[in-house]
Amino acid sequence: MSSDNPYKDLPGTGFWRTGVAEAGLFGLEELWRSKWQLPVDARFSTYGSCFAQHISRALVGRGISWVDAEPAPGRTPAALSRKFNYGIYSSRTGNIYTAAQLLHWVTLALTPGWVDLVELWEDGERVRDSLRPLVEPLGFASQDEARKSLRSNALAFRRSIEQADVFVFTLGLTEGWENAETQQPYPLCPGTSAGVFDPGRHLFRNYTYPEIYEDLTEALSLMWTINPDLKVLLTVSPVPLTATASGDHVLVATTYSKATLRAVAGDLARNFDTVDYFPSYEIIASHPSRATFFEPNMRTVAQAGVDYVMGHFFNGIDLGGPARGHADETEDRRAKIEQQMAEEDLVCEEMTLEAFNEA
């Protein structure tokens, strides 16, 4: 006869048999319950590795307030917005795969003058900035234009921190590349999609748990100087590495990468009340899903998987708090511009008629 013990009163979700084996993949419940009650009009900023863009889209699709601090210019059709990477993340940073990259962006947000130190790459007659090498389909017309755009992006990134209630960040990789002199991280290895690889300048890094924990802690601390009320929701991308430069088999490297990121995210969530962890990685990539949600290449997550992840996300989030009310100046500005255009239209109509005045 067993005596009282800590397992005796656990809910069914605490046991593998009832929580997973008998529940089945589509019967999983209570995988995540948000730490916080958020206002009904809570605003979310989203960044991270490529999986993060699904979170942006799902929030918008649900009508949940998503911070778009760097929207496309007015009357830009969706296809043109996508071509220039507007509306993917809360500003036009492109993918942020590593904690080091996030820390770099936060640093730029606080000291935008440092964009002058960001490495630029010549691409024929065009220029690419090494933090966002693919943000412009053809690159920039000049170094000056690249820096102006980057500075504008850094300020928009800052606004996306200021304006958000929750900053959702999807950790993607432990592996990355850095400039040997400046330690500037790159989102892509120079020479793969843009830039020229220089083994003397471009260093491979496979960031360790302590380095990632430290970079993230520093990034979050700096973000809280911008917005002291900001809550941070971490996730780990279930998308495996495309390739590894570690020398290990890519499957082994992927497991190292995801395990490390998962551990860092979990510990940060445990150590900070304002940090939470959402288990998108587990839902898609753990063995009870039997790779159901991966396309045949065992890497790309199928839309059904994204929908399933986001279903758990929306089940677990608590938007039951009172509305904060957010002022939106955009509509006022649009209305004023529309009015000015209508007035000028009238002037133009009069001018075309006046042309026929022979008096």
Query: Which residues of the chain form contacts with another protein (CB under 8 A)?
Result: 70-77, 80, 83-84, 136-138, 140-142, 145, 148-149, 151-153, 155-156, 330, 333-334, 337, 340-341, 344-345, 347-352, 354-355
Q: Which is nearer to another protein, 77 or 199 (CB)?
A: 77
Shortest distance (Å) from residue 351 CB to another protein: 4
Q: Closer CB to another protein, residue 117 or residue 138?
A: 138
Nearer Cβ to another protein, position 40 or 110? 110
8 Å CB contact between 144 and 117: no
Q: CA-to-CA distance for 92 and 85, rounded, in angstroms? A: 6
Give the pair of three-digit tokens for residue 317: 């989030």
- Nearer Cβ to another protein, position 62 or 148? 148
> Smallest gap, in angstroms, from Cβ of residue 327 to another protein?
15
Report which DSSP code applies to 347. Answer: H
CB of 223 to another protein, least distance (A): 20
CB 27 within 8 A of CB 311: no
- As beta bridge partners, residue 178 has 185, 203
* Residue 333 CB, nearest approach to another protein (Å): 6
Report the C-alpha dihedral over residues 327, 225, 318, 45, rounded to 10 degrees: 60
CB of 86 to another protein, least distance (A): 9
**Between 159 and 299, CB nearer to another protein:** 159
Rounded distance between C-alpha atoms, residue 70 and residue 311, angstroms: 27
Please spell the DSSP secondary structure of 236-268, one letter per residue. Answer: E--PPPS--SSSS-HHHHHHHHHHHHHHHHHHH
DSSP 197-250: --TTTEEEEE--HHHHHHHHHHHHHHHHHH-TT-EEEEEE--PPPS--SSSS-H
Amino acid at 199: P
Strand-pair partners of 204: 177
In the bound state with another protein, the residue whose beta carbon lies nearer, of 32 and 89, is: 89
Least distance from C-beta 189 to another protein, angstroms?
24
Residue 35 corresponds to which tokens in the numbers above?
């730490």
At closest approach, how far in Å is the CB of 334 from another protein?
5
Among 232, 336, 328, 221, CA closest to 275:
232
Nearer to another protein, 9 or 331 (CB): 331
Which SS3 state, helix, strand or coil, does residue 59 take?
Answer: helix
Q: What is the dihedral of CA 62, 66, 70, 71, to 10 degrees?
A: 30
H helix or E strand, kind and range, residue 179: strand 175-179
Q: Which is nearer to another protein, 158 or 312 (CB)?
A: 158
β-bridge mates for residue 233, sequence order? 168, 276
Q: How far is the CB of 108 from another protein (least distance, A)?
A: 14
